[in-house]
Amino acid sequence: MSAGDGNLGAGGQNRMARIRERYGVLRRRGDAIWARRYARLAIVLVAAAAVILFPYLFQPGSTFLFDLVEAVAFVVMALGLNVVVGFAGLLDLGYVAFFAIGAYTIGWFGSGFFAYVNHTKGIHILTSGLASTLPGIHINLTAGRQGITPIDPGQLPGLNPFDPLNLRPWYWVALGMVAIVLLVNVRLRDSRLGRAWVALREDEVAAASMGVPLVKTKLMAYATGAAFGGMSGAFIASYLNTVNADQFAFSFSIFVLAMVILGGLGSIWGVVLGAIVLSFINTWLIPSVIPNLSSKIGIKVDLTSLSYGIFGFLLVIMMVLRPQGLLPERRRKLEFVEHVGTGPTDMSAERV
Amino acid sequence: MEAARRWWSRYALIVFLLILPVAFGVHDIVATGGVTRIAENLKDGISNGAIWALVAIGYTLVYGIIELINFAHGDVFMIGSLVSTGLWGTLGLTLTTGTGGLIPGLILSLIIAMIACGSLNVLIERVGYRPLRGAPKLAPLITAVGFSFILQNVGLLWIGGSQTSVPDLLHAQQDLFNIGGVHIFRADLLSIAVMVPLVVLLVTFLARSRMGKAMRATAQNPEAARLMGINVDTTISVTFLLGGTLAGAAGLVYALYQTTIWYFQGFRAGLIAFTAAVMGGIGNVYGAVLGGLIIGCIQQISDNRLGGQWTNILVFGYLVAIMVLRPRGLLGEETREAG
Amino acid sequence: MTSARTPAAGTEPAEQPSEDALLSAQDVSKSFGGLLAVSDVTFSIPERGIVSMIGPNGAGKTTFFNMLTGLYRPTSGVISFRGRDITRMRPDRITALGIARTFQNIRLFGTMTALENVLVGEHARMRAGLIGSILRPPRVRREERSAHEKAQELLGYVGLPASVMGLLAVNLSYGDQRRVEIARALASDPSLLLLDEPTAGMNADESARLVAFMRQLRDERGVAILLIEHDMKVVMEVSERVTVLDHGEKIAEGKPQTVAGDPRVVEAYLGKRGGTE
């Protein structure tokens, strides 16, 4: 069908015109794509700047900032659990264990715990009964309810040493952790392993038949989630300056799980939102806002004694009204919307 | 070596289950010349465990039919305790009430507690779980947690934050009789006397009645059950009703047995009962009972011999061991494809 | 008599289980509790052959399939692939060795797109691990790109229109879903493809096209195929050898025409009536 000998001729001129037109279209479409990309980049940069500079709006030691840092630490936790529960679809009710391991690790090494010897000979377990009557040296593993305190805060090169009066460096460290966890989450979602997790969650048998090693893949999910749980746990222990057994109740696991589910299972930004919302409900709305509210409305009942119930009520309401979560994962939304894909190459552009 | 491995894979589970009582039994024989102590541990374990068994059945029934861990169930049990002890005041049951007034009074409070808890469970299902039938399986889990918190707050408002004594109406620790040195108390008899008939009734109901068949069918395949004309919604409600009534009964027994009640008792009981249900094979009523009894025994042996701090470690260590050695649970059915 | 040739359909003599066979099963049985689903079946598949397994419902065909792919563990017997014992191997290892399958009721990953489904099929042929997936060094990026290209190519090969490659599997038509399943199975570069009732729900036209496609797979990609089928036309058309199971036992095996005329086979399908097909 081609002209063959290099002479354009009438047919050739038509072709050139068509080529030029198509090139023009492509150039315009290309421009549009680039414009979209630049716009997106600009938005991301502005948002990042806002997030980084946020603490300057508040006093360095303000309680809001205190709660905010805790919320950010919870975001890291929730994103870690998201890998296990959201991506791979594995129900994990023991997530608090990794929080504990991280917290105790920094407790051991960040304080004089191992270094001081008890004033009595040998070091004893803080338990009673059979075990403590055995002679010999016991290793002090946990300090039970009393806990290990104080814990030296972390020292990072270049930043001023942390102190409880200036919460900003804590915030930025926490933000750094979030950045890492986000990167890991996003990268894994669109990778061989991420796809294996979704397949595993959908249909384990089919996944195995397609070559996905079940045990190894599940372990990878747990390991990744655990790593972030531990990381955040170490941070929180250092931040709160204490680690003791009371912090590690079963309800903590449920709390973080609620963040993941509320945010929208598997949806990365949903989980971020869920973590922030629940953390603030827990540390701010219920302790501070609601008691004030009751006096403003003139209710005689002391609403603080209802804080459990209010929290539970909020959970129920949020789930019943929006079971798919605050920002549901793209996949679940797409189930209900007919969507004509433009081809595989565009799919990578669609993601975050 | 191969023979040893095969022996281990068949009998490891039994070894694990027996190792505690046998080891301490031997210790007792050596130390005291008799097995009275271990027998007493086991007796206490069974009567305590019977209470867990009743609560565990609720978990196992609900999970069997809609694959939901009803986190609020333990707190329904707590409400059962609170309702029944509250009734004692209303009915004027005190330590001085004679047997003629006590027995009917207790039976009445039993019935009312069962009805109250059954209805509560049905209500929770209707409000919190049914709307989420189509949602991912983890969503109703959060509503369950929400209800758990709400119920705990109710308990908190009702009787305050600390453990509260209730009148020891049955003189729970009164010695009834003596089997070879082991004292059987009224509390023990009460526990078994309530659990056994209820379990028998339930199992008969499940096996013989139309609704029981409907429940079993729905548990296996809700779609097919619906196509066969079974009203799945009603069947699920009945399941919750049954679980709730058993929890209510357990609540009353617990109050009479322990003579204290606490707003937090439900959370603790829920954890134990759910563990028992899983251990015994989730979905299996006998398994829940067995699991409850086993955990009761582990707890007693541990509390009595090693100290309370080790109890949880042992209980959950056993759970892990049983799950590893027999993933479907002690009496569970093998439902998965291999590999 | 070796099995390395490319046979023309319907003209090769029946293969006996031999060491040259691509896959061979010796005296394989499977019992579930008291129920004996498969009983002492000896069976082999020649390299690049197209063979079928037929039998009335409940004969044990899918159970046998599941044993070949590692989903069930045989109660007794030995299965070897290319001389290697795979009797107790995990399903994902078996896939990595080169056996792939489709399912009787389509088991695609519903919330993944057609393309992503095929990408999962390539899992065994890709190497990116946890760290690699996070850091995305050039090697991993190249692997992802070529995996995407391969997936697209496979979907095109099975005849899926490009416009639906980005659709979620739940939203595809039945026929397209079947195609994606086959593409997904081919994604692991198998030497043996097990198809479980691939023509279910197809009309005569589509079945004919599938037959041609199977021959194409064998000739172009060197894939051997084992087929469970109920559509006798397809079986007669494409099989080099047919094996018949009934109540878990092998009751006949041989060329399609031979088996069709075997009175035991007729009886198995029609019941004890003694009439001809």
Average pLDDT over residues B72-78: 96
Nearest-Cα distance to chain A for B202, in Å, is 30
Residue numbers in C near B339 (CB within 8 A)? 70-73, 90-91
Question: Quick one: average pLDDT of B265-293?
Answer: 92
C28 and C12 in a common domain: yes
A157 touches chain C (CB under 8 A): no
Chain C contacts in chain A segment 309-348 (CB below 8 A): 331-332, 334-335, 338-347
**Per-residue confidence (pLDDT) for residue A147, from 0 to 100:** 59
**d(Cα C44, Cα A339) in Å, to the nearest integer?**
45
Burial of C267 (0-12, 13-18, 19+ CB in 10 A): middle
Residues of chain B with Cβ-Cβ distance to C70 below 8 Å are 339
Helix (H) or strand (E) holding B261: strand B260-261
Q: Say how far apart CA C38 and CA C61 lie, in whole Å.
A: 8
Find chain B residues with C-beta within 8 A of A305's C-beta.
153, 156-157
**Closest residue in C to A223 (Cα–Cα):** C130
Does the beta-carbon distance from C73 to B339 stay under 8 Å?
yes
Percent of chain A with pLDDT over 90: 22
- As beta bridge partners, residue C226 has C51, C194
Q: What is the distance in angstroms between the Cα of A23 and the nearest Cα belonging to chain B?
A: 48
Domains and CATH numbers, chain B: 2-325 (1.10.3470)
Across the interface, whether the CB atoms of A308 and B339 are under 8 A apart is answered no
Residues 6+ apart with CB under 8 A from B319: B275, B278, B279
C244 has which bridge partners? C54, C252
| Interval A278-289 mean pLDDT | 80
Task: Return d(Cα C29, Cα C38) in angstroms, integer.
Answer: 5
Q: Which residues of C touch A214 (CB under 8 A)?
A: 90, 92
Of residues C272 and B58, which shows the higher confidence score?
Answer: B58
B200-241 pLDDT, tens digit each: 999 999 999 999 999 999 988 888 888 988 999 999 999 999
Lowest-confidence region among A35-39, A343-347, C42-46: A343-347
Coil vs helix vs strand at B139: helix
What average pLDDT does chain A have? 74
- What average pLDDT is seen over chain B? 89
Question: Which chains have 3+ CB pairs within 8 A of C?
Answer: A, B
More confident residue, A123 or B84: B84
Q: What is the CA radius of gyration of chain B?
A: 21
pLDDT bin (cut points 50, 70, 90) of residue C135 is: very high
Q: Which of B141, C146, C110, C129 is nearest to A198 (CA)?
A: C110
Determine the pLDDT at residue A224.
Answer: 94
Give the pLDDT band (50/70/90) at residue A56. Answer: confident
Residues C205 and C94 grouped into a single domain: yes
Tell me: pLDDT of B4 over 60: yes
DSSP labels, A27-78: HHHHHHHHHHHHHHHHHHHHHHHHHHHGGGGS-TT-HHHHHHHHHHHHHHHH
Say whether A319 and B271 touch across the interface (CB within 8 A): no
In sequence order, what DSSP letters do the residues of A100-135 get, joined into one string?
A: HHHHHHHHHHTSSTTTPPPSSSS---S--SGGGGS-
- Give the number of other Cβ atoms within 10 Å of residue C232's Cβ: 15
Q: C233 is in which domain, residue-wise? A: 1-98+190-277
Residue B334, pLDDT > 70, answer no
Tell whether the model's pLDDT for residue A343 goes beyond 50. Answer: no
Q: Are residues C166 and C215 in the same domain?
A: no
Residue contact C91–B338, C-beta within 8 A: no
Question: What confidence score (pLDDT) does residue A254 get?
Answer: 86
Residue B54: is it exposed, middle or buried by C-beta count within 10 angstroms (0-12/13-18/19+)?
buried
Identify the domain boundary among C152, C187, C222: C187
Average the pLDDT over C152-164 and give the result. Answer: 92
Q: Based on the fold, state whether residues C13 and C69 are members of the same structural domain.
A: yes
Q: Is residue C106 part of a domain?
A: no
Q: Is the pLDDT of residue A335 over 50?
A: no
Structure tokens at B337: 């494809």
Higher pLDDT, C1 or B216: B216
* Distance from C-alpha of A104 to C-alpha of B237, rounded to nearest angstrom: 45
- The confidence score (pLDDT) of residue A130 equals 37
Which of A83, A188, A200, A209 is the best substitution to test chain C (most C C-beta atoms within 10 A)?
A209
Q: Please report the beta strands in chain C, taking only residues with DSSP state E, as ranges in sequence order.
A: 23-32, 35-45, 50-54, 76-81, 84-85, 99-101, 192-196, 224-228, 241-246, 249-254
* pLDDT value of position A10: 65
What are the beta bridge partners of residue C38? C30
* CA pair distance B331, B203, nearest whole angstrom: 15
Q: Is residue C105 part of a domain?
A: no
Tell me which chain B residues have a C-beta less than 8 angstroms from the C-beta of A129: 306-307, 309-310
Residues making up chain B, counted from first to last? 339
Which residues in chain C are closer than 8 Å to A188, comparing Cβ atoms? 130, 133-134
Residue B46 pLDDT: 94
Residue-level pLDDT at A337: 40
Q: Which of C94, C97, C118, C133 to mutate to test the interface with A (most CBs of A within 10 A)?
A: C133
Q: What is the pLDDT of residue B47?
A: 93
Contact C123 A211 (CB under 8 A): yes
Residue identified by tokens 């305050």 is: B160
* Residue C70 resides in a domain: yes
- The crossing angle, in degrees rounded to 10, of helices A168-189 and A268-280 is 150
Structural tokens at position C142: 């190249």
- Residue C166 within any structural domain of the chain: yes
Across the interface, whether the CB atoms of B146 and A324 are under 8 A apart is answered: no
pLDDT of residue A7: 54
pTM of the model: 0.80
The residue from C187, C206, C222 where one domain ends is C187
Interface with chain B: mutation pick from A84, A142, A261, A301, highest number of B CBs within 10 Å: A261
Give B-chain residues touching C87 at CB under 8 angstroms: none
Q: Which residue of B has its CA nearest to C33?
A: B334
Helices (H), A129-213: 168-189, 192-202, 204-209
Judge whether B73 and B59 are in contact, CB under 8 Å. yes
Give me the DSSP letters along B145-199. HHHHHHHHHHHHHHH-SS-EE---TT-TT-EEEEETTEEEEHHHHHHHHHHHHHH
Over residues C138-148, the mean pLDDT reads 94
Per-residue model confidence (pLDDT) at position C191: 94
Domain count along chain C: 2
A-chain CB neighbours of B147 within 8 Å are 312, 316
Instruction: Write out chain B residues lying below 8 Å of C73, CB-based.
Output: 338-339
* C84 and C116 together in one domain: no
- DSSP class of residue A304 equals G
Of the pLDDT bands very low, low, confident and very high (cuts 50, 70, 90), residue C8 is very low
Q: Chain C partners of B338 at a C-beta cutoff of 8 Å?
A: 71-73
Q: At a CB cut-off of 8 Å and minimum separation 6, what does A77 contact?
A: A95, A99, A228, A229, A232, A233, A256, A259, A275
- pLDDT for res A121: 30
B71: which 2 tokens? 């986190």
Name residue, tokens 């589910």.
A261
Residue A224 · residue A88 · CB < 8 Å: no
| Chain B positions touching chain A (beta carbons under 8 Å) | 71, 127-128, 131-132, 134-136, 138-143, 145-154, 156-157, 271, 305-307, 309-310, 337, 339
* pLDDT tens-digit series, residues C243-252: 999 988 999 9
Structural domain contains residue C103: no
Q: Give the confidence band of C2 by pLDDT, cuts at 50, 70, 90.
A: very low
C92 and C222, same structural domain?
yes
Residue B200: CB atoms within 10 A of its CB come to 10
**pLDDT digit string (tens) for A113-169?**
554 433 333 233 333 333 333 433 334 455 555 556 555 555 444 344 456 667 777
CA nearest to C74 within chain B:
B338
Q: Is the pLDDT of residue C7 over 60?
A: no
- Do the beta carbons of residue C51 and residue C243 sit within 8 Å? yes
- CATH number, position C199: 3.40.50.300
Per the CB < 8 Å rule, is B337 touching C71?
yes
C24 shares its domain with C58: yes
Phi, psi of C182 (to 5 degrees): -70, -45
Against chain A, the chains showing at least 3 CB pairs within 8 Å are: B, C
Comparing alpha-carbon positions, the chain C residue that sits nearest to A187 is C134
Give the residue, A75 or B94, on which the prediction is more confident.
A75
- Both structure tokens of B141: 């889990």
Both C125 and C20 in a single domain? no
User: Would you state the structure tokens that stand for residue C270, as one six-digit string?
Assistant: 């029609």
- The DSSP line for A67-108 is HHHHHHHHHHHHHHHIIIIIIS----S-THHHHHHHHHHHHH
The pLDDT of residue A92 is above 80: yes
Q: Tell me which DSSP letter residue B330 carries.
A: S
Q: Which residue of B has its CA nearest to C89?
A: B339
CB contact under 8 A, B142 and A258: yes
Q: Cα(B72)–Cα(B156) distance, rounded to whole angstroms?
A: 15
Q: What value does the CA radius of gyration of chain A take, rounded to a whole number of Å? A: 27
pLDDT band at residue C71 using 50, 70 and 90 as cut-offs: very high
Find all residues with CB under 8 Å of B220, minimum gap 6, and list them. Answer: none
Give pLDDT tens digits for C97-118: 999 999 988 999 988 999 999 9
Q: What's the CA gap between B315 and B323, in Å, rounded?
A: 12
Distance CA B130, CA B147 (A): 14
Chain B interface includes A56 (CB < 8 A): no
- Distance, in Å, from the CA atom of C164 to the CA atom of C167, rounded to the nearest integer, reads 5
* Contact yes or no for C115 and A344 at CB 8 A: yes
The pLDDT assigned to A116 comes to 41
**Structure confidence at residue B49 (pLDDT):** 95
CA A150, A154, A160, A165: dihedral to nearest 10 degrees?
-40
Q: Residue B32 — pLDDT band, cuts 50, 70, 90?
A: confident
CA–CA distance, C79 with B338 (Å, rounded to integer): 16
Distance CA A255, CA B197 (A): 39
Q: Is the dihedral of CA C188, C191, C196, C198 positive or negative?
A: positive
Q: C140 contacts in A (CB within 8 Å)?
A: 191
The domain boundary residue, chosen from C159, C187, C215:
C187
Six-digit token string for C127: 């190497």
In chain C, the residue whose alpha carbon lies closest to the alpha carbon of A190 is C133
Residue C66: its chain B contacts at CB < 8 A?
337
Cross-strand partners of C78: C26
| Cβ atoms of B196 and B279 closer than 8 Å | no
B16 phi, psi to nearest 5 deg: -60, -45
> Which structure tokens are listed for C105?
């009721």
Residue in A203, A211, A342 nearest the CB of C166: A342
| CB-CB under 8 Å, A315 with B146 | yes
Which tokens sit at A261? 């589910």
What angle (nearest 5°) sits at the alpha carbon of residue B261, between those of residues B256 and B263?
150
Q: How high is the pLDDT of residue B237?
A: 95
Q: Are residues C91 and C69 both part of a single domain?
A: yes
In angstroms, rounded to a whole number, what is the distance separating the alpha carbons of residues C20 and A93?
A: 51
Query: What DSSP assignment string belongs to C112-131?
Result: SBHHHHHHHHTGGG----HH
CA–CA min distance B328, chain C (Å): 16
pLDDT at B28 over 90: no
**Least Cα separation, residue A333 to chain C (angstroms):** 10
Beta carbons within 8 Å of A103's beta carbon, 6+ residues apart: A233, A234, A236, A237, A243, A247, A248
In this structure, are C250 and C143 located in the same domain? no
* Residue B248 · residue B109 · CB < 8 Å: no
